Amino acid sequence: MRNLTNEDISRLQQNGCVAEDWARVTVADAFRPDYIHDVEFYGDVQLGVFEAADIQVSEDFCKHSGIRRAVLRNVTIGDNCLIENVGCHIQNYRIGSRCLISNVAVVETRRDASFGEGSVISVLNEVGDGNVMIFDGLNSQLAALMVRYEHDAAFTNAIRNIIREDIERKRSNVDGYRVGTIGDNVRITSAKEIINCHINAGCEINGATQLYDCTLRSIPEASVYIGTGVICKDSVIYDGSIISNNAKLEHCFVGEACKITDGFTAENSLFFANCFMSNGEACAAFCGPFSASHHKSSLLIGGMYSFYNAGSNTNFSNHAYKMGPVHWGILERGTKTASGAYILMPAHIGTFSVCFGKLMYHPDTRKLPFSYLIAYGDEMVLVPGRNLTTVGLYRDIRKWPKRDKRPRGGKNSIVNFDWLSPFSVGGIMVAKRTLEALRQVSGDVERYNYHDYVIKNSSLKKGIKYYDIALRIYMGAVMKRHRLERPKSQVGTGKWSDLSGLLLPLSEELRIVEEIKRGRLNTIAQIRDEFWTAHKNYSEYRWAWSYRLICEYYGLEEIRPTDEERIKQDYIAARRAWIAEIRKDAEKEYELGDINEQTLQNFLRDLDQEVQWENLKYDM
């Protein structure tokens, strides 16, 4: 960099430029003032070169780089940017190369800037003391730990100190001001206020109303897009995400490849990995991977979700009576709510369940996953295991991996797509025993009472059957991966956890928590490495758990070749029975007139092909 020459200053003045102190304006060695017009310089300003004539402002429309009609104070600008029509000023920013900043009101960083990092929000309990600290580095696993162990003061203090240190390492100050950054190839057009924001390379902001204290984090393969009318405050938005069409966010974290659009409003909420939110609202919501809400009348409040789909007019009540919105609930992975569904919190819905109607009495169906919960007026009916044999489940478990829009280098949150895993199958084992015990205690009656829910006799019998089919499918599928191999470790033989997408033994989760408390894990990088290690060891941990399950189910001390053949045949029979039930469910939908014959035949053809391929794979 060099100081301006007298000739440079003279030319700039001829172009309508003024400076508080020309000596504080420095430029690149090859700088020429030809494309700098009507600019006011205050404080320390550094300028690159402006040689490029191909800055694209619209499709098939390019302009020469330069600065026109702008006020700059304490700003560094890289090479070949186009900055024009700044209504107020740009202040306290480092701007990269080949950026377009056009028709904006104000871009500045103030003394109190946080860039959306460090605030503690209350997730689940809307009026709680706060449990999740937002920062650039959060993922669904770390957020889930902060929620799950919020009442462990030693853990909470330790993790918050680690996060604060991580934030502090990234801070940059000039004359007491935090310095904002705008990376290379950023486009900011027709925006009003951009205050206290870090904007990574490649991001685009088009027509936003206000970005205040935000970090837009992108990678080369996946940038962030902020669209028309967006208001976003005190938030962090990750690579590949789109916030558009008058969406409003405050105190939120938006993970990778999410889309929040069409007037959706959210406060004190988290969205991770491929969430889609449109039209409705979220408050104190923990939306894990692949959570979706499309409708204006849907409100996600005080709940934890993942692989979740909210039907139209879905609502949750976190006011149980008069003590305020202090209640919350958990919908385990894969849960759906039908149109018009209502759940009275506190509630805990088991994995891959479907909720219909106005569900009162604080439902807790952790011991009966894959169920239908149906409200008929004041009567609450539970159909255990019903969702195991539906077309909807079959389609869901295949669509999620295909809908993962994250590039390989942009997977911040860990997502394990296994629908039958030690976590869910552990629930299935408990469910089968629960139904068998209910039948043994009550006898062969027409209706069974399970807490405040009614289970019909036929539903109980089918539930036991469906759960057993799922067990045999799972055991055979895992067995064909490991054959007669003995487990290498005992890690994983106990209970399992779903840490918002990461499936791991509960013992490993507790070990990570304990090592954070003891200071053995004292950086975000170390903690993330532990999550990834658990994910990489999933197959080994799963086999340790499954080997014990198989021995228990078949009454074995160890698995021998004859046992393997029996497990294989049970697997094939169970898969055929499962596919037959799904076929019946598809044919029922056709008989109701909801789909045409061609759609049915296409689905059944794909179903048959998969059965043949699965059987072939087992013998390979």
* pLDDT tens-digit readout, 53-88: 999 999 889 999 999 999 999 999 999 999 999 999
> Tens digit of pLDDT for each residue in 451-484?
889 999 999 999 999 999 999 999 999 999 998 8
Task: Tell me what pLDDT residue 612 has.
Answer: 64
> Taking 90 as the threshold, does the pLDDT of residue 595 lie above it?
no
* Contact by Cβ (8 Å): 430, 463: no
Q: Is the peptide bond before 346 cis (omega within 30 degrees of 0)?
A: yes
- What's the whole-number mean pLDDT along residues 18-26? 97
> Tens digit of pLDDT for each residue in 159-176?
999 999 999 887 765 555
* Contact by Cβ (8 Å): 362, 378: no
Residues pairing with 171 in the sheet: none
Q: Where are the domains of the chain?
A: 407-580
Task: Tell me what pLDDT residue 255 has.
Answer: 97
- What's the whole-number mean pLDDT along residues 603-615? 75
> Tens digit of pLDDT for each residue in 29-42?
999 999 999 999 99
Task: Tell me what pLDDT residue 607 has.
Answer: 85
Task: Tell me what pLDDT residue 594 has.
Answer: 81
pLDDT band at 321 (very low <50, low <70, confident <90, very high): low
* Contact by Cβ (8 Å): 575, 473: yes
Sequence-ordered list of residues with C-beta below 8 angstroms from that of 243, at least 6 positions apart, any chain: 224, 225, 226, 227, 230, 232, 237, 249, 254, 260, 261
Rounded CA gap, 286 and 330, in Å? 9
Question: What does the block give as tokens for 108?
Answer: 């500045």
- What's the whole-number mean pLDDT along residues 240-260? 98
Helix (H) or strand (E) holding 348: strand 347-349
pLDDT band at 325 (very low <50, low <70, confident <90, very high): confident
> Tens digit of pLDDT for each residue in 184-238?
999 999 999 999 999 999 999 999 999 999 999 999 999 999 999 999 999 999 9
pLDDT band at 551 (very low <50, low <70, confident <90, very high): very high
Rounded CA gap, 76 and 284, in Å? 39
Task: Tell me what pLDDT residue 620 has.
Answer: 42
Task: Tell me what pLDDT residue 173 has.
Answer: 59
- Cα–Cα nearest to 509, from 149, 35, 151, 241: 149
Burial class (CB in 10 A: 0-12, 13-18, 19+), 323: exposed
Q: What percent of the chain has pLDDT over 70?
A: 97
Which of helix, strand or coil describes residue 385?
coil
Residue owning tokens 């919020």:
150
- Cα–Cα nearest to 455, from 361, 377, 386, 389: 386
Rounded CA gap, 588 and 594, in Å? 9
Task: Tell me what pLDDT residue 326 has.
Answer: 86
> Tens digit of pLDDT for each residue in 111-160?
889 999 999 999 999 999 999 999 999 999 999 999 999 999 999 999 99
> Taking 70 as the threshold, does the pLDDT of residue 330 lie above it?
yes
Burial class (CB in 10 A: 0-12, 13-18, 19+), 560: exposed
**Start-to-end CA span in the chain (Å):** 66
- What's the one-letter identity of residue 425? V
